[in-house]
Amino acid sequence: MTEEIRPLIEAKGIRKVYRLGDTDLEILRGVDLTIREGEFVAIMGPSGSGKSTLMHVLGLLDRPTAGKYYIGGKEVLCLSDEETAFLRSKTIGFVFQQFNLLPRMGATDNVALPLIYSRTPNRQAVAEKNLAHVGLSDRLHHQPNQLSGGQQQRVAIARALVNNPKIIFADEPTGNLASAQADEVMRMLTGFNKAGITVVMVTHEPDIAAWANRVIHIKDGQITEDVTKPDAPPLPPAKKHQHITRGSAYLTPAEFTEHFMSALRALASNKMRSFLTMLGVIIGVSSIVAMMALGRGAQKSIEERLSSLGANLITVMPGFSQMRGVSGARTSRFTLEDAKTIADNKQLIARVDPNVNGNAQVVFGPNNTNTSILGATADYAAMRNAQPVYGRFFTAAEDERLEKVAVVGQTVVNNIFGAANPIGQTIKISHKNFRVIGLLPAKGSSGFQDQDDMIIIPLNTAMKRSLGRKYVNTIWIEAKDTAKIDPAIDYITALMRKRHRIQQGKDNDFNVMNMSNIREMVESTTKTMSLLLGVIAGISLLVGGIGIMNIMLVSVSERTREIGLRKAIGATRTAILTQFLIEASSLSIVGGGIGIALGAGIAVALSKLAHWTLIVTASSVIMSVGFSASVGILFGFWPAKKASELSPIEALRYE
């Protein structure tokens, strides 16, 4: 079949019916219209006659209820959304009565906007050239609110022309202008028509319609009159049209950059709102980073401390019995006798060191501090890897004699001695004089606790003179060698059950653990703690995500007209979706960035001020970046999808 030569625009039997409640409102009732390339057509008619509706159908902003429509001989009503957008972008330019320029954007950027969707390079230069055509070379960076109405409409005309369209549709282009400015706009449209662009203009003013070469009257949705002026210049012969090929749906880097910039612009224009929106993400991410740093630090220092102890150590601690019901729970208590009996098994046990813990006020001269007091035997230093760095540890004989001697930790020295040498000094512990005989090696902090803020005194002194205790808190036991750890644990367990008269079948009311038990326990505790903190942080991220979704929904409805305009000048669904997704993720990524900085700051501050060990790990940073980005994409998707599915004309009409 040979292709016939067709006019630029052919509409046949176009009908448009709006359904209002249960009545059908027929606005266009079978419009047949043919427009040839190069024509300048005015569509006239009283208000409400359907002029704008017809123009929206012809401009592919709206779909007719029935009829056939060809542009350049190609049937266009069957095209997909993407294809229609591409056709609008390449073939059609719009000029609206309300200008529809984007605020907070310079004239050049407004004119350059359609070039993004048509994927044209050198956008700034092309836009500037088009602004020169409408005589606005001196207003390139003025924003719409810094321009007069006439100037704004000229910017809009430059925008309509920027993609070299075949047709310009102008709906009451002078409706908002004073007559001098209106004439200026009409002169321009006439000029562009002379240069070969087909112009279809809607107006209700006869003197504006007089600029056109052909005037079509429309009344109640039907063409009543179609007159071409006798003095109209001749049209070039109708010719074959090139079919417009479909554009790619993929995002170009230029589009991505533009969306990113417009996202930042949107965020910057609403600084307070953006910040409040990000707050949830900031709190979530900073707590993830800080909490994980804390958990990691605590784990590391506890592990270090444990590994500095001998491998053959066993501890016996009071524990709650596992019997049903809280009422059955009873804490066991250990006496010095318990410890001595354990030590009697010379085959399995090398040394035993029962400990008591307490707190006391310590005074030296004018200085005082509150610190932990540990009562221990002379074996403590060897068993726990704590030989004094200065002076000496106390002896078993001193312990027997209840002597008031003390070995002090470095934090205590810093707190009360300052630069003075502590060895040989007398301090008051709970109002009793003690002689300082040694300085403990530094152990650092284990997470929350400063291991150097302690004083060790002989066990008997502590129990009978200082703390006044009948029971010990912990018994440390050293097995003869590694092979004897397990038999020793069995022996101690059996012995304690017997001494505490625990009936057969009942659970222990104490815990016997070796070092690897303790390490496992510490690990599982820190894991549980991190998990718990992670869940809390995750919930706050979720709340942050909902905040983002909320604000994006507000933003979509605030910018509905902008979305309509972008679609009119060629944006596809994908482009709008991407734009709003990028906006939502920028919110969460910027929030995430601030959160990471804040969380790391908190970690550093805590380790400086409170001397806790905190380790900011790369994994926590990567995890929270990933989290916050997905929060933005996940929660931004719905508003973005909503925006992308708006019909261009409904969006443009949105108030």
The binding site for Mg ion (CB under 5 A) comprises 52
Q: Which amino acid is at 391?
A: G
Residue 50 binding target from ligand ADP, Mg ion, none, CB below 5 to 8 Å by type: ligand ADP
Binding residues for ligand ADP, per CB under 6 A? 18, 20, 25, 27, 45, 47-53
For residue 498, what are its two tokens? Answer: 């017997």
Which residues share a beta bridge with 12? 68
Rounded to 5 degrees, what are φ and ψ at 497?
Answer: -60, -40
- Residue number with CB closer to ligand ADP (62 or 109): 62
Q: Count CA atoms within 13 Å of residue 34 on its CB side.
A: 5
Residue 168 binding target from Mg ion, ligand ADP, none, CB below 5 to 8 Å by type: none
- Residue number with CB closer to Mg ion (53 or 91): 53
638 backbone φψ class: left, alpha, beta (φ>0; ψ -120 to 50) = alpha
- Residue number with CB closer to Mg ion (51 or 159): 51
At its nearest, how many Å lie between ligand ADP and the CB of residue 555?
Answer: 24
- Residue number with CB closer to ligand ADP (175 or 534): 175
At its nearest, how many Å lie between Mg ion and the CB of residue 181?
Answer: 20
Please tell me the distance from the alpha carbon of residue 80 to that of residue 98, in angstroms, as a whole number.
Answer: 28
CA distances from 622 to 136, 230, 313, 627 (A): 49, 74, 39, 8
- Residue number with CB closer to Mg ion (224 or 528): 224
Residue number with the shortest CB distance to Mg ion? 52
At its nearest, how many Å lie between ligand ADP and the CB of residue 141?
Answer: 34
Residue 20 binding target from ligand ADP, Mg ion, none, CB below 5 to 8 Å by type: ligand ADP
At its nearest, how many Å lie between Mg ion and the CB of residue 655?
Answer: 15
- Residue number with CB closer to ligand ADP (9 or 427): 9
At its nearest, how many Å lie between ligand ADP and the CB of residue 651?
Answer: 12
For residue 535, what are its two tokens? Answer: 């869940």
- Residue number with CB closer to ligand ADP (52 or 174): 52
CA distances from 430 to 3, 201, 354, 361, 378 (A): 109, 98, 22, 6, 22
At its nearest, how many Å lie between Mg ion and the CB of residue 48?
Answer: 8
For residue 532, what are its two tokens? Answer: 């718990």
Rounded to 5 degrees, what are φ and ψ at 33?
Answer: -150, 135
Q: Count CA atoms within 13 Å of residue 488 on its CB side.
A: 30
- Residue number with CB closer to Mg ion (47 or 245): 47
Strand order in the sheet with 9-20: 23-35, 9-20, 66-71, 74-75
Angle at 434 between CA 431 and CA 435, to 5 degrees: 155
Please tell me the distance from the alpha carbon of residue 177 to that of residue 97, in angstroms, as a whole number.
Answer: 9
Residue number with the shortest CB distance to ligand ADP? 52
Residue 18 binding target from Mg ion, ligand ADP, none, CB below 5 to 8 Å by type: ligand ADP
- Residue number with CB closer to ligand ADP (18 or 256): 18
Strands 367-376 and 454-458: parallel
Contact assessment for residue 233 and residue 40, using Cβ atoms and an 8 Å cutoff? no
At its nearest, how many Å lie between Mg ion and the CB of residue 51?
Answer: 5
At its nearest, how many Å lie between ligand ADP and the CB of residue 649?
Answer: 8
Please tell me the distance from the alpha carbon of residue 384 to that of residue 625, in angstroms, as a whole number.
Answer: 42
At its nearest, how many Å lie between Mg ion and the CB of residue 153?
Answer: 16
At its nearest, how many Å lie between ligand ADP and the CB of residue 101?
Answer: 21
Contact assessment for residue 293 and residue 610, using Cβ atoms and an 8 Å cutoff? no
- Residue number with CB closer to ligand ADP (27 or 186): 27
Residue 626 binding target from Mg ion, ligand ADP, none, CB below 5 to 8 Å by type: none
Contact assessment for residue 356 and residue 459, using Cβ atoms and an 8 Å cutoff? yes
Please tell me the distance from the alpha carbon of residue 209 to that of residue 55, in angstroms, as a whole number.
Answer: 15
Please tell me the distance from the alpha carbon of residue 473 to that of residue 408, in angstroms, as a whole number.
Answer: 20
Contacts of 278 (CB under 8 A, 6+ apart): 544, 548, 587, 588, 590, 591, 594
